[in-house]
């Protein structure tokens, strides 16, 4: 596995690492495709903060202070920078920046199973999703939102057009369907990075040497090129020369190496993001966006469950919801999201970067008998900022218990259409490229 960070004195990759990337490009190809998104569109790039496990709408962006105690929970609602709009008290930093953020309070999805709702949230459709029962839903999984944007935005980029920061998403031990290119093919699978807070390094999991790619066997450049030709045959499209060139572009371009290395950021900024995995992953994501990657997805965790529940810190708070929120999740999200917005704004990137923070569903209004909240697909919330989104706006509303939308009900497919709208993809383009949706762009979010 290739590690970036800490050792910063060398000027480029070793031969071994070049060989490793040769292997990796076969796993995460980023062949060029014509750019079809409008150059005048407000969003030039998209950042999806995937809050895996499903945050509770009542404890985050849709508090109901007048609901009964066993609904509203023990947290207050605090005023924000937008008069009349309140959010959960655990998010004071977000509240102070709500003039730059829109809240979508009327999302609903089709399943309360992480596997199925995860597929729907990532692709816009539950088709092909696999739930706890292990049976795939009818239909073929659509491409991930990132793959769609990669397809629409890809302008022969130097770097992979769809990058994920974080491990593969799981429910239990099952990987979630919908993180990849789907019907667009493996060419649009994400290139994955993982930030390891314990080691303080960025890792590139795909860059583990394939058995057939040992340095001993590939002892010169000619053999490397031949090996890459072999790898190329494992996929059935794309011009070989371009593939090879882009692989080497990544290797030989110092900016690629620098892009992954968080050590080049100031310690103060790294602190502001928070030295958590999510915090540093978001900082890494900003660097990727800044270097021209059109779509970055940051996974809050690999697993839905919290550490106390056989997971790695997800939002699936069936029990101890309020302790987990006040001790960890809310603090981390509040700090990192605020730092991210400020950083993007300070660099002049926010206006052209659509930032979406959302999970796969919400959580039950009624607090369960384990001091937690269970899965709730009927109503949940998202934050959207930048990329033409009108800050301070609240779109959609829910009933008195945040149980059901009462106006502007929208779905994950509508979010896909919204992203396509934000990047200026025409209906003709999405039809031509096979990424058309049945969703409606939520134009109420935009100025």
Partner 1 sequence: MTHRLGEPGASAPGGPCRRQKGDLRGLTPPARLAVYLVAALLPWALRADDPPPAVKRLTTDGSFKQHLAWSPDGSRLLFTRIHQGRMALWTMAADGSDLKLLLEPPANSVQFDGSWSPDGKRIVFVFDQFEGTDGKLRIESIAADGSDRKEVIPHKAFEESPRLSPDGKRLVWVSTRDGNQELYSADPAGKGIKRLTSEAAPDNAPAWSPDGKRLAFSSGRHGNFEIHAMNADGTDVRRLTNHPALDYWPTWSPDGKWLVFTSNRDGNYELYRMRPDGSDLTNLTRQPANDNFATFSPDGKRLAFVSNRDGGSDVYVLTLE
Q: Does 275 bind partner 1 (CB under 8 A)?
A: yes
State the nearest-atom distance from the C-beta of 163 to partner 1, in Å: 23
Nearer to partner 1, 70 or 219 (CB): 70
Which residue, chain included where needed, has tokens 């890494």? Answer: 284
Q: Residue from 34, 139, 172, 239 that binds partner 1 (CB under 8 A)?
A: 172
Count other C-beta atoms under 10 Å from residue 325's C-beta. Answer: 24
Nearer to partner 1, 197 or 215 (CB): 197
Q: Does 78 bind partner 1 (CB under 8 A)?
A: yes
Which residues from 210-269 bind partner 1, rule CB under 8 A?
Answer: 267
Q: Does 76 bind partner 1 (CB under 8 A)?
A: yes
What CA–CA distance (Å, rounded) separates 120 from 134?
Answer: 16
What CA–CA distance (Å, rounded) separates 46 from 27?
Answer: 23
State the nearest-atom distance from the C-beta of 158 to partner 1, in Å: 31
The site string for partner 1 over 299-328 (x = CB under 8 A, - otherwise) reads -----xx-xxxxxx---x-xxx-xx--xxx
What CA–CA distance (Å, rounded) separates 306 from 51?
Answer: 12
Distance of CA 1 to the CA centre of its chain: 22
Q: Residue from 367, 382, 389, 410 that binds partner 1 (CB under 8 A)?
A: 367
What CA–CA distance (Å, rounded) separates 26 from 232?
Answer: 6
Pair 387, 43: CB distance under 8 Å: yes
Cα–Cα distances in angstroms (integers) from residue 201 to residues 196, 204, 264, 268, in the given order: 5, 10, 12, 17
Which residues from 1-40 bind partner 1, rule CB under 8 A?
Answer: none
State the nearest-atom distance from the C-beta of 99 to partner 1, in Å: 16
Pairing type for strands 397-398 and 394-395 reads: unpaired
Q: Does 75 bind partner 1 (CB under 8 A)?
A: yes
CB-based burial label for 196 (10 Å; 0-12, 13-18, 19+): middle
State the nearest-atom distance from the C-beta of 348 to partner 1, in Å: 25
State the nearest-atom distance from the C-beta of 195 to partner 1, in Å: 13
State the nearest-atom distance from the C-beta of 262 to partner 1, in Å: 12
353-369 burial by CB neighbour count: b if 16+ within 10 A, else e?
A: bbbbbbbbbbbbbbbee
What CA–CA distance (Å, rounded) separates 290 from 341?
Answer: 14
Contact region for partner 1 (CB under 8 A) — 31-39, 212-220, 254-262, 365-373? Answer: 365-373
What CA–CA distance (Å, rounded) separates 49 from 143?
Answer: 17
Q: Residues near 176 by Cβ (< 8 Å), separated by ≥ 6?
A: 114, 115, 118, 119, 122, 129, 130, 168, 169, 170
Q: Does 198 bind partner 1 (CB under 8 A)?
A: yes
Nearer to partner 1, 142 or 318 (CB): 318
Which residues from 35-74 bind partner 1, rule CB under 8 A?
Answer: 65, 69-70, 72-74
State the nearest-atom distance from the C-beta of 189 to partner 1, in Å: 25
State the nearest-atom distance from the C-beta of 69 to partner 1, in Å: 5
Distance of CA 365 to the CA centre of its chain: 26
State the nearest-atom distance from the C-beta of 66 to partner 1, in Å: 10
Pairing type for strands 380-385 and 101-107 reads: antiparallel
Total residues contacting partner 1 (rule CB under 8 A)? 47
Q: Residue from 99, 229, 271, 428 that binds partner 1 (CB under 8 A)?
A: 271
State the nearest-atom distance from the C-beta of 390 to partner 1, in Å: 25
Q: Does 369 bind partner 1 (CB under 8 A)?
A: yes
Nearer to partner 1, 199 or 219 (CB): 199
Which residue, chain included where needed, has tokens 């909240």? Answer: 373
Contact region for partner 1 (CB under 8 A) — 186-194, 240-248, 364-372, 417-425? Answer: 364-372
Longest dimension (CA), the chain: 71
State the nearest-atom distance from the C-beta of 78 to partner 1, in Å: 8
List alpha helices for 261-401, DSSP H: 267-273, 277-290, 321-324, 330-346
Residues that bind partner 1 (CB under 8 A): 65, 69-70, 72-76, 78, 89-90, 92-93, 96, 171-172, 197-198, 267, 270-271, 274-276, 304-305, 307-312, 316, 318-320, 322-323, 326-328, 331, 335, 367, 369-371
């Amino acid at each position: 596995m290739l590690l970036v960070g800490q050792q910063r004195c060398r000027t480029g990759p070793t031969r071994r690492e070049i060989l490793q990337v040769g292997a990796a490009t076969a796993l995460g190809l980023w062949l060029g495709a014509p750019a079809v998104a409008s150059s005048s569109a407000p969003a030039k790039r998209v950042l999806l903060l995937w809050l895996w496990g499903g945050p509770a709408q009542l404890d985050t962006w849709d508090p109901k202070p007048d609901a009964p105690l066993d609904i509203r929970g023990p947290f207050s609602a605090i005023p924000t920078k937008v008069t009349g709009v309140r959010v959960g008290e655990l998010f004071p930093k977000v509240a102070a920046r709500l003039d730059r953020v829109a809240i979508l309070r009327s999302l609903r999805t089709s399943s309360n199973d992480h596997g199925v709702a995860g597929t729907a949230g990532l692709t816009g459709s539950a088709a092909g999703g696999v739930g706890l029962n292990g049976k795939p839903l009818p239909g073929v999984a659509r491409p991930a939102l990132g793959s769609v944007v990669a397809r629409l935005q890809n302008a022969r980029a130097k770097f992979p057009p769809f990058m994920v920061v974080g491990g593969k998403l799981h429910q239990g031990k099952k990987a979630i369907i919908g993180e990849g290119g789907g019907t667009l093919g493996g060419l649009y699978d994400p290139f994955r990075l993982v930030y390891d807070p314990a080691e303080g390094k960025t890792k590139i999991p795909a860059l583990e040497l394939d058995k057939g790619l040992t340095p001993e066997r590939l002892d010169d450049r000619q053999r490397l090129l031949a090996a890459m030709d072999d790898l190329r045959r494992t996929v059935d499209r794309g011009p070989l020369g371009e593939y090879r060139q882009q692989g080497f572009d990544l290797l030989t371009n110092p900016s690629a190496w620098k892009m992954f290395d968080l050590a080049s950021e100031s310690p103060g900024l790294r602190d502001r993001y928070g030295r958590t995995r999510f915090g540093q992953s978001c900082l890494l994501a900003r660097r990727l966006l800044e270097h021209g990657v059109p779509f970055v997805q940051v996974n809050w965790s690999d697993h839905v469950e919290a550490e106390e529940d056989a997971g790695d810190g997800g939002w699936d708070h069936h029990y101890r919801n309020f302790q987990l929120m006040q001790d960890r999740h809310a603090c981390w999200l509040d700090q990192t999201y605020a730092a991210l917005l400020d950083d993007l704004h300070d660099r002049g990137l926010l206006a052209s970067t659509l930032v979406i923070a959302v999970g796969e569903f919400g959580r039950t209004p009624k607090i369960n008998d384990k001091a937690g909240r269970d899965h709730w697909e009927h109503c949940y919330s998202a934050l959207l900022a930048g990329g033409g989104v009108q800050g301070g706006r609240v779109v959609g509303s829910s009933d008195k218990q945040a149980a059901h939308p009462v106006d502007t009900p929208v779905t994950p497919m509508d979010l896909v259409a919204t992203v396509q709208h934000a990047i200026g993809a025409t209906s003709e383009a999405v039809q031509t490229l096979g990424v058309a949706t049945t969703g409606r762009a939520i134009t109420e979010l935009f100025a």
